[in-house]
Structure 1
Amino acid sequence: MASDAHIDLLVEDYGLVIDAGQQPVLTRHRHSIGQDIKHAVLEAGLARALLGERSPTLRADVRTQIRILVEQDRRIVPGTAEVREEATDRYLLTATTYDYGHLEVTL
C-alpha cells in the first residue's frame, strides 16, 4: 500500500532543487525511490566503472553488480532490475517497486 513514507528532497545536477520561495522541493513515491537508487549506484562507483569499461564482458559484469545492488533495496521486487545500454554514455535501469510499480532511472 502506497504511503508518504517515501519522501525525499529533490536533487538534480548534484544539487537541491529550490522553489520560488527558496524552499527545497520534495519528491515522492516512485521518483524518490529512483533517486535513492541512482545515488546508490553513483556512490558505489558502478556508473563510472560502467562508462569507463571498454570490454563488453566486463561491462556485463558491472551491469550485474548494479542489478545486485538495486535488488538489495527492500522497496524493489527481486528479479526485476535490468540495465540496458541506450547509448555509449547512457544506460537505462528499470525495476519494479512493491508500492509504485515500474521504475526507470537513467545512469
Structure 2
Amino acid sequence: MSYRYQDILIKNGDVVLDDGRNPVLIQDAQVIAQDIKHAIIESGLAVALIGDTSPSGRADIKKQIELLVEEETRLVPGTVTLEEPKLGLIWIFADTREFGRLDVEVSNV
C-alpha cells in the first residue's frame, strides 16, 4: 500500500516500538496530527496556556495556538477549532485536504 506521508510514532517524547522492537510507523492523517501536536508543544504555547490564569491571557494563547495550527498547509484553511475541556488538555479539530477530519489531543497533565 502506498502512503503520501509516513513517519515514526512518537509518544511522550519516545519512539514507540512494536513487539519485535521495531519502530511503529504511522501514515497520512496520523502524521499530520503528530506534526501539529509537536509544533504546539515545541512552540511553548501549551505550557504558557497552563501557566496563565487570566481569562484574557488564556484567550490570547488559545488564539495563538489556533493560528499556529492554521499554518499547516495540509489542512483546509478556516476549519481549525480548539477546545479546552480541562486545564492541561487541548483538543484540536480540523479538516485535512486529503484525509478528512482530524482530531488532535495535546496534554500537559
Shorter-chain-normalised TM-score: which range?
over 0.9
| AA aligned opposite 1:35 | Q
Aligned to 1:19: 18
Q: TM-score, normalised by structure 1?
A: 0.92
Moved over 3 A (4+): none
Q: Which runs of 5+ in 2 are unaligned?
A: none
The reply to whether residue 52 of structure 1 matches residue 37 of structure 2 is: no
| AA aligned opposite 2:74 | R
SS at match of 1:38: helix
Shift of 1:92: 0.8
Q: Which runs of 5+ in 1 are unaligned?
A: none
Across the two proteins, how many residue pairs are aligned to each other? 105
Shift of 1:83: 1.1
Shift of 1:67: 1.0
Residue deviations 1:44-101, cap 9 Å, x none? 1111111111011111111111111111111011111111111122111111110111
Question: Alignment RMSD, CA only?
Answer: 1.1
State the alpha-carbon separation in 2 of the partners of residues 20 and 84 from structure 1.
Answer: 35
